[in-house]
Amino acid sequence: MKIVIDTNVLISGMLNPSGPSGRIVDLLRSGSLQVVVDDRILSEYTDVLRRKYFLGYFRKSEREDVIEYLSKNSYYTLSRIVAQDMPDEGDVPFLEIALSERVPLITGNLKHYPERARMGCNVLSPKQFIDRFFATGNRAKLNV
């Protein structure tokens, strides 16, 4: 199953492997999920993971391993949709790619994706996604 994950979910999942975001990261590692990216999203993942702040949590080699994994195992695409009226322009690529590929967008910041700007995209918190993913017969309902 393909999904778009906001950077905060990726980082949260790496910092707290036992929480819902951690379960999403585990599903990515296992191949049950595949993250959908474009150059803007991959660039953001890379920029955030390389911040000095995270040296206290991950060795440089671990961060580079994650970047390499995402570079080689993500589904690359281009946006065919232009998202507007977003509170934070940094969130635009995530919504555009989720809409373009008709996949769910998982974020820890639901307020950054107001209903008026979603254009029908299925935007879920990590907990909502995990609950629905593991609910019997509901996997197909996760798509936009």
The per-residue pLDDT for range 61-76, each reduced to its tens digit, is: 999 999 999 999 999 9
* pTM over the 0.85 mark: yes
Ordered structural domains, the chain, with CATH: 2-142 (3.40.50.1010)
Report pLDDT digits (tens) over 23-55. 999 999 999 999 999 999 999 999 999 999 988
Q: How confident is the model at residue 144 (pLDDT cuts 50, 70, 90)?
A: very low
CA distance 39 to 13: 22
Kindly give the pairing relationship between strand 123-124 and strand 2-5: unpaired
